[in-house]
Structure 1
Amino acid sequence: MTTAFFPGSFDPMTFGHLSILRQALAAFDEVVVGIGVHAAKTPMFSFEMRADLIRASLKVDGGSADIAIVSFDGLVVEAAANAQASVLVRGLRDGTDLNYEMQMAGMNGAMRPDITTVFLPASPETRPITATLVRQIAKMGGDVSPFVPEPVLAALRGKLA
């Protein structure tokens, strides 16, 4: 059985995250979603809310919402090891992501050779989406409905109302 670890901030969950998660769920026996929580950063949504939004987004998308979601605050590769994952899933939007992610994969591989990094491509329609841009657009009153699943859109509207 192959367990994959899909890390991110998911603050908020976007259609890009959902696309990569769907691909990972199709490719691996089990996927553990790791939500990064850092004491020095103030997220828009709590860990619990982000986990709920990931599950709700999967459910609306027609998938099973019964997935493992954990928090982590250290090295991604150590969080993957703690989740007993042998694969680390990373999404790629463009060449800039590839350059950065290749460096990270090399460093992670040196620290944990038993964990393989797998890159999954973003779908063409989700390539420009970043959670940072979604937060900025939402805070400025813009329409983020093309970028996030309905449960996230509702949560953003509620948070910013």
Structure 2
Amino acid sequence: MHDVLTDQTITHVLVPGTFDPITFGHIDVVRRARRLFPHVTVAVAESLGKNGTGPTFSLQDRVSLAREALGDIDGVEVRPFTGLLVDFANEVGAGAVVKGLRAMTDFEYELQQADLNYRLDPGVESIFVMSSPEYGYLSSSVVRQIASFGGDVSEFVPDNVVKALKERFKC
């Protein structure tokens, strides 16, 4: 568990998520976190129980897609994790979690998660950034749904993800 020190500067943060798949909205949050902190770890969660069915892409595939999509950003690494987020933060030496917020519904969910994380480890800060207006509507689930019907998702995700979705949904 972290010691809660008021004079400790945070230099390493996590941007966690399922990233199923990574979108331009996720990339925006990562870039913004990187502007604020010198070291950002994108923490790709296993999330076996997501939406009652599990993720569309395997953990290995989601990590690979994220690494390729974020490869041009210095100071950013992508790592898979299982278990509690605060445990992973301690494992990698991250002092905070950065989450993007799109709407009030995101805020309510993320506040609940932040409160729980604080109870588990008060030394891991929670930091929220508002989504850019151009990505306020964007979610991985919407991208998956559009792709599953053969729709064009190229304005929502990087080229490597477009290709992976076409292969996954055979369109």
- Contact 1:5 / 1:83 at 8 angstroms: preserved in 2? no
Which deviates further from its counterpart, 32-41 or 149-158? 32-41
Q: Does 1:47 align with 2:59?
A: yes
Normalised TM-score (structure 1): 0.89
Q: Which residue of 1 aligns with 2:150?
A: 141
For these two proteins, the number of residue pairs brought into alignment is: 158
Unaligned runs of 5+ in 2: 1-9
Q: Which residue of 2 aligns with 1:100?
A: 109
Which of 121, 139, 146 matches 1:112? 121
Q: Which amino acid is the alignment partner of residue 63 of structure 1?
A: I
Q: Which residue of 1 aligns with 2:47?
A: 38
| Distance in 2 of aligned mates of 1:39 and 1:102 | 22
Alignment of 1:73-88 (within 5 A): 73-88=82-97
TM-aligned CA deviation for residue 70 of structure 1: 2.1
Pick closer, same or farther for the CA change 1:67–1:48 going to 2, 3 Å: farther
TM-aligned CA deviation for residue 38 of structure 1: 3.4
| Distance in 2 of aligned mates of 1:39 and 1:91 | 22
- Contact 2:18 / 2:47 at 8 angstroms: preserved in 1? no
| Distance in 2 of aligned mates of 1:112 and 1:139 | 39
Q: Which amino acid is the alignment partner of residue 56 of structure 1?
A: E
Ranges of 4+ aligned residues in structure 1 off by more than 4 Å:
none
Unaligned runs of 5+ in 1: none
Q: Which amino acid is the alignment partner of residue 66 of structure 2?
A: I
Matched residues, percent identical?
38
TM-aligned CA deviation for residue 128 of structure 1: 0.6
Q: Which amino acid is the alignment partner of residue 104 of structure 2?
A: G
Deviations 1:112-131 (A, max 9, x none): 11111000111101111111
Q: Does 1:22 align with 2:13?
A: no
Which of 11, 18, 23 matches 2:20? 11
Q: Highest Rg: 1 or 2?
A: 2
| Distance in 2 of aligned mates of 1:120 and 1:83 | 22
Pick closer, same or farther for the CA change 1:10–1:108 going to 2, 3 Å: same
Q: Secondary structure at the match of 2:26?
A: helix
Q: Which amino acid is the alignment partner of residue 84 of structure 1?
A: G
Alignment RMSD, CA only?
A: 1.7
- Contact 2:43 / 2:81 at 8 angstroms: preserved in 1? yes
| Distance in 2 of aligned mates of 1:23 and 1:154 | 26
